[in-house]
Amino acid sequence: MRVLLVDDHAVVRMAIGMILAREGHEIVGECDNGVDALSQAFELKPDAIVLDLDIPQLDGMAVIDRLRIGGSPARVLVHTGLKSQAYAAQCLRAGASAFLSKIDDPVEIVTALKAVASGKTWFPVSTFDSVRKSDFAQNDAQLLSAITRRELKVLHGLALGKSNKQIADDMLLSNKTVSTYKTRLMQKLNASTLLELIEFAKRNDLV
């Protein structure tokens, strides 16, 4: 397959590139941010895109959205250090073909590529349980299901100790918009303080 690599760490791109090239895949391009990812995706027309979520300028979820809106047929394999099932479920809903954790053996990307090439998906089994969950009890899983992708990104930034301005810069938003997302998060997660938001994020492996 013709593959585009998107990760803000050059050593990760190099390692994945070597593994995939050894298996006969062609690396047609690589980049370290979401804006360039979209540009190269539509210009190079790869068969698959190995995409990190936590990348600058335009985060991975936004990249997936815009690829679908733009009609890109590329299969997206999310490869991220964000291990929570909440992220996997968001990616599945957005239309990604696979979700892999960076803590797993990188060779698993080869297996995932074979799966998506044959029209299958590659997600942790529990992801499908999360997406299909019908239990409306007020537990963490249910609360998380009410959070939008952008709210999840803001929550992740807050849990990392970033200021509203830093999060706004990362997401190309205004400070006011980030503040609004923060207020919505506190309402949706029944949090009365920033500390409670951060504790919720850590409890659910969002950082």
pLDDT value for 165? 94
Higher-pLDDT residue of 83 and 190 is 190
- Strands (E) in the chain, as ranges, are 2-6, 26-31, 48-51, 75-80, 98-101
Q: Say whether 78 sits in a helix, a strand or coil.
A: strand
Q: Where are the domains of the chain?
A: 2-131, 140-203
Domain 140-203 has CATH 1.10.10.10: yes
Cα–Cα distance, 104 to 148 (Å, whole number)? 27
The DSSP output letter for 193 is S
- In this chain, the answer to whether the domains covering 2-131 and 140-203 adopt an identical fold is no
- Per residue in 104-140, pLDDT (tens digit) is 888 889 999 998 888 888 887 554 454 444 333 346 7
Cα–Cα distance, 165 to 177 (Å, whole number)? 10
pLDDT band at 93 (very low <50, low <70, confident <90, very high): confident
Higher-pLDDT residue of 181 and 132 is 181
- pTM for the full predicted model: 0.65
Beta carbons of 51 and 9 less than 8 angstroms apart: no
The DSSP output letter for 206 is -
Mean pLDDT along residues 172-200: 88
Q: Which CATH superfamily is domain 2-131 in?
A: Response regulator (3.40.50.2300)
Q: Which residue has the tokens 């979209």?
A: 38
Tokens linked to 70: 């733009």
Beta carbons of 53 and 17 less than 8 angstroms apart: no
Beta carbons of 67 and 37 less than 8 angstroms apart: no
Cα–Cα distance, 145 to 189 (Å, whole number)? 10
- Distance of CA 167 to CAs 95, 148, 153, Å? 25, 16, 9
- Per residue in 49-67, pLDDT (tens digit) is 999 998 998 889 899 989 9
Q: Which residues contact 9 (CB under 8 A, 6 or more apart)?
A: 32, 52
pLDDT value for 84? 63
The β-bridge partners of 75 are 48
Higher-pLDDT residue of 94 and 125 is 94
